[in-house]
Amino acid sequence: MRWLDALFPPPPAELRDALVRFQYHAVRRQIPSLHLTALVNVCIVMAVLWHTGSPVYHYAWMPLVGAFNLHRIWLWRSQTDAVPPHAERFLRHSTYAAIGSVTAISVYSATTYALDWFPYPILIPISFAFGSFSIAHGLASMRPAASSVIAIGIFPSATVMILSGDFLSLCLGVSAASVALLQLRFLTEHQSHIWATLALQQEVEQLANRDGLTGLMSRRAFLAAWEAEMVAETRPPRALLVLDIDHFKAINDRHGHDVGDRVLFQFAALLAGALRGTDLAGRFGGEEFLLLVDADRPADAEALAVRLARLIDGHDFRSPGCPVEHVTVSIGVHCVDVAEPSFDAAFSQADAALYAAKSAGRNCVRLCEATAARSSASA
């Protein structure tokens, strides 16, 4: 399949999922209208052939094409706006269906013209050329499929017309072939444009979802992840930790904001390195950070917070451009109540525990009142 990859280079791996979503939505919008147009054209061609007295057995199979169009309209109309898990397979099958149907009609179109079956032999090739361009337009987001439709749908009939010796057919065949070549070039440029747009969208989303200094989740992204997790049908017990670097303002005042930024960067790296698979970490603002972690019991959440506090306390922050050696952190802990999953309520509890830790002298961990009560009850 190397020749296929050379002819149609695959998208960058990081764009693959976004491209499938884009293609699914693009095809879902276009395909029903295209099949409806094709159905109308099939009816028109059959009416013309019947009116001219052409033998019915030469075009009796065309209702099958109409039935296929109706089936595809129903199939795509029944799809929801949400991209299904099997979207890539669905698009692949649609590609096979488009190429298969175009191949069959292309053979029929070239044959009817070459054998002069109908009083207006150019009717089928020209009608099919319009249909092929329309199908390619609908599949433009999938360049291999659209290019195959153009090549299979246009060039065989155009070649037969050019070789027929009829001057009008020669002109129409050359015109169809030249437009097909132009369409193929358009599809190449269109693909590049789609990839560039998706790459830009991913970059913008990353900037919006990642804190530019620490690389952790931004406040916006953390809140979105919280909402998604809280509405999930099944989720493990979770705890919210609010962390605040002690005396951080003094670091900025004494050493400058550049040094403060280096401290924040190292602090975030320590948090990220301590995360487990399902834990989430975000920068809430300034020197305040949030963690959403698995915690079957309040004691588990407290133990994790204590380990983090000791990790920070024992780390040497000195590095080129950062003379700060020692930093501590205060942590407030709240075990999320299943009956009260709102972020504001959870943050209010964890933030109150954080202030209790600061009031206790900093560099320590405190549970919120509700979580502490649960911990005492389970002890």
Q: Grade residue 159 by pLDDT with cuts at 50, 70 and 90.
A: very high
Question: What is the token pair recorded at 285?
Answer: 């603002």
**pLDDT tens digits along 214-250:** 999 999 999 999 988 887 767 788 999 999 999 999 9
Q: What is the pLDDT of residue 103?
A: 92
Confidence bin at 304 (pLDDT 50/70/90):
very high
Q: Tell me which CATH homologous superfamily contains domain 219-378.
A: Reverse transcriptase/Diguanylate cyclase domain (3.30.70.270)
| Cβ atoms 287, 362 nearer than 8 A | no
Average pLDDT of the chain is: 87
Give the CA distances from residue 92 to residues 5, 115, 162, 290, 358, in Å, rounded to whole numbers and listed in that order.
Answer: 16, 35, 33, 42, 58
As a dihedral over the C-alpha atoms of residue 120, residue 125, residue 127, residue 130, rounded to 10 degrees, the angle is: -150
pLDDT band at 276 (very low <50, low <70, confident <90, very high): confident
Q: Is the dihedral of CA 146, 149, 154, 156 positive or negative?
A: positive
What is the structure's pLDDT at 355?
95
375, pLDDT greater than 80 = no
* pLDDT of amino acid 4: 65
Stronger pLDDT, 14 or 289, i.e. the higher one: 289
pLDDT at 1 over 60: no
C-beta neighbour count of 118 within 10 angstroms: 20
For 30-39, 310-319, 362-371, which range has the lowest pLDDT when averaged over its residues? 30-39
- What pLDDT score was predicted for residue 2? 67
The pTM score is: 0.65
With CA atoms as reference, report the closest residue to 52 among 118, 107, 116.
Answer: 118
pLDDT(188) > 80:
yes
Count of helix runs (H) and strand runs (E) in the chain: 13, 5
Q: For residue 374, what pLDDT is reported?
A: 67
Model pLDDT, residue 191: 92
**Which pLDDT does position 291 carry in this prediction?**
95
- Look at residue 83 in the predicted model and tell me its pLDDT: 80
pLDDT > 60? residue 252: yes
Could you state, in order of their start, the residue ranges of all structural domains in the chain?
2-208, 219-378
Q: What pLDDT is recorded for position 376?
A: 63
pLDDT at 108 over 90: no
DSSP-derived pairing of the beta strands 288-294 and 365-367: unpaired
- Residue type at 260? G
Phi-psi region of 237 (alpha: psi -120 to 50; beta: other; left: phi over 0): beta
**Tens digit of each residue's pLDDT (9 = 90 or more) over 48-87:** 778 877 788 777 777 887 888 788 778 777 766 778 788 8
- Residues 6 or more apart whose Cβ sits within 8 Å of residue 336: 230, 237, 238, 239, 240, 346
Q: Report the pLDDT value the prediction gives residue 196, as an integer from 0 to 100.
A: 93
Exposed/middle/buried for 10, CB within 10 Å: 0-12, 13-18, 19+? exposed
Per-residue pLDDT tens over the stretch 110-125: 998 888 887 778 888 8
